[in-house]
Structure formats: structure tokens, C-alpha cells
Amino acid sequence: MIELFLMSPPGRSWALRGRANFRSREAPEVDAAAARREWLALAEAIAAHGGAVAVLPSPSEELTGMPYAAECGHVVGGEPGACFLLPRMAAAHRRGEREHWSRLAVEMGFDVVDPAPEGSVWEAQGDVAELDGVTLLFFGGRTTRAGMEGAARHIPGEILRIEIRQPAFHGNMAVLSLPTAGKLLVCPEVVAGDGMALLEHRFGADRLLHVTEAEIRSYATNGLPVGATVLAPSILPDRVAKLLESEGLRVVLLSMVELCEKAGGASRCLVSRALVDDSFAARIPPGRRLSTVAEAMRAELTET
């Protein structure tokens, strides 16, 4: 099995449009070239740590949300015929993204499914986490309960439904799964209702590593685990970095001023991850391979 990551680089004129989170709301304008360099550094770090990266450049400069590929969809299953669940986005300017991700999913041999009912919101892997064969589905940030339940019908096995609250606009701001360590990094302050009780009952309190609301505002839960390494934005709080290292994980800090500190999405937000059969690496279309895209991007960035 391999770790497959779906990604989309910022365009040459990438800008903030929705400004829908606590970072982007008052942020200065982004530097598109710098954002592209940040994205490329992350993508190449994923590949260097063994991940297979499939890249879908945005077909339109208007689709400025596409770099945040956690919301592009969610793969269920890792064998040929695996299912790709499409999102149903809250922001109007992001709703056109899914038709383009759907085409890539079909090219790669996934069965594409539209799970969420009309009028609901389901922001895909932004609101999904997995550990020990258990799928955590989140709602209450942007994803609605109806959208979550639509997705749940297509996900086999054990499911925990976890309600969250702001400033966690996605579940991946409330909980980060650390499969290599067998732990969950959790912010109890943004887990609503009986969510913490459900997590403690299922996994045990000793497997829940706590972070604070102040720490998730510096993206404590939005590092990206790739094997035993966590690729995290450089604003990751030092206490959290040491906590991860105490669990045997290696923390690699990446500068993400444009994509994270201004736009409000860290390394975990920039990918949709799937654990799939090795054959899927060969299914990445030649023009979608990171090596091809990276070569063109480096040439363009050298000129700017």
C-alpha cells in the first residue's frame, strides 16, 4: 500500500477570494509566486518521504480554493474500484472545483459518487479522520449534519460522528490522526456535545494528546503526517512540536506565510490523502505527475 496525495498548486495570479476563516479575514494580499514556492516545497517534501503525489492544476484562476485539496473529495477503500466521494462546498466560489477533481478521479480508476443531498454541505476530507479502522466524521463547522450523514452512507465499518465548533471550521482543526504513533491530537475546547466522551470511550484517554484553542489558531492540528514524519507550518507551537517528537515522530517545519499565515490553510489542508494499492501510483496520468508539474513550475518561478 502507498500513501497517495491529491494536490493542486496556486495559480500564477492566485489571490484570496472568500476570506472565510480567522486568518484570511483580515490578511494582507498574498504573493502568488511565493505561495507557489511554498506549495512546491510541501509537494516535494511529501514525495521525498515516500508519498505519491497526483497534481491537478486549476483550470481557472477563478477557482482560488483548489489548492486546499482536503476538500476535493475523499477516497473510500484502497483497491481497484475504490470510491471517490465528491464534496458539496459551502462557499459558492468553490463549488465548481468538484467537476475537475471528478475527472481526475475517473482517470485514475476511482468510482465517483456524489454522496451529500442537495442543500447540504459536506467538505470532504476536511471533515474526515481515520484511526484503527475507525472513521471520524465531523459536522458543525461548515459541514452540516445532513451532509455528513450523506457521506456516512458510503463509508463502511465503524463511524464516530463528532460535532465541532468555531474556530474549528473543519474537523481537521479539531483532531489530527497520527497513525504511526497510534494517537489522536485533539483540541477538547472545540469538540462539542459528547464528542470527547465518544473519543475517550473508543480510543482511551491515554491515546488523546490535548492541544488548546490558542494552539490550533497556530495550526497545531494541521500538520501533515507522512509515515513517521509530520510536515508542519513553521508557526507550529514549540510545545506541540515537542509533544509530537515525544511520540517518536519527526517534525519538519516548512515556511507557509502565504498559504497558511495569510490564507488560513496549513499542510494538512493542502492535500487529500488516501492509503491505496501500489497500482494507483502507475495510474497517475503522466501530465499529473509531480515530477512533470514541478519541472514546469521551477522554470516559471526562476523567471519571476
| Vertex 63 angle, CA 58 and 67, to 5° | 60
Average pLDDT for 101-120: 96
Q: Give the CA distances from residue 214 to residues 59, 220, 241, 284, in Å, rounded to whole numbers and listed in that order.
A: 37, 9, 15, 39
Q: Residue 20 — pLDDT band, cuts 50, 70, 90? A: low
Number of domains in the chain: 1
What does the alpha-carbon distance between residue 20 and residue 27 come to, in Å, rounded to a whole number? 11
Cell of residue 181, nine digits:
504513533
Q: At what angle do helices 32-48 and 290-303 cross, to 10 degrees?
A: 150
Average pLDDT for 284-292: 94
Residue 268 has pLDDT above 80, yes or no: yes
More confidently predicted of 304 and 82? 82
The predicted structure's pLDDT at residue 291: 94
Residues 120 and 150: beta-carbon distance below 8 Å: yes
Torsion angles phi and psi, residue 97, rounded to 5: -65, -35
What does the alpha-carbon distance between residue 239 and residue 251 come to, in Å, rounded to a whole number? 12
Average pLDDT for 103-111: 95
Residue 18 has pLDDT above 90, yes or no: no
Q: Residue 133 — pLDDT band, cuts 50, 70, 90? A: very high
Considering just the CA atoms, what is the radius of gyration of the chain in Å? 18
Residues 14 and 35: beta-carbon distance below 8 Å: yes
What does the alpha-carbon distance between residue 35 and residue 254 come to, in Å, rounded to a whole number? 12
Cα dihedral 208, 212, 218, 220 in deg (nearest 10):
-10
Alpha helices in 128-246 (DSSP H): 145-152, 171-174, 195-203, 213-216, 238-246
Q: Residue 302 — pLDDT band, cuts 50, 70, 90? A: confident
Cell of residue 122, nine digits:
459536506
Cell of residue 63, nine digits:
477557482
The predicted structure's pLDDT at residue 84: 97
274 has which bridge partners? 4
Residue 28 has pLDDT above 90, yes or no: no
The domain that holds 263 is classified in CATH as 3.75.10.10
Domain span holding position 229:
2-303
Cis peptide before 167 (omega within 30 of 0): yes
Residues 47 and 2: beta-carbon distance below 8 Å: no
What does the alpha-carbon distance between residue 284 and residue 299 come to, in Å, rounded to a whole number? 22
The predicted structure's pLDDT at residue 24: 56
Task: Return the H-helix or E-strand segment holding 135.
Answer: strand 134-139
Q: Quick: pLDDT tens for 196-250.
A: 999 999 999 999 999 999 999 999 999 999 999 999 999 999 999 999 999 999 9
Q: Quick: pLDDT tens for 31-89.
A: 999 999 999 999 999 999 999 999 999 888 889 999 999 999 999 998 878 999 999 99
Residues 264 and 28: beta-carbon distance below 8 Å: no
Q: Quick: pLDDT tens for 150-209.
A: 999 999 999 999 999 999 999 999 999 999 999 999 999 999 999 999 999 999 999 999
What does the alpha-carbon distance between residue 112 and residue 106 come to, in Å, rounded to a whole number? 7
Cell of residue 252, nine digits:
519538519
The predicted structure's pLDDT at residue 70: 98
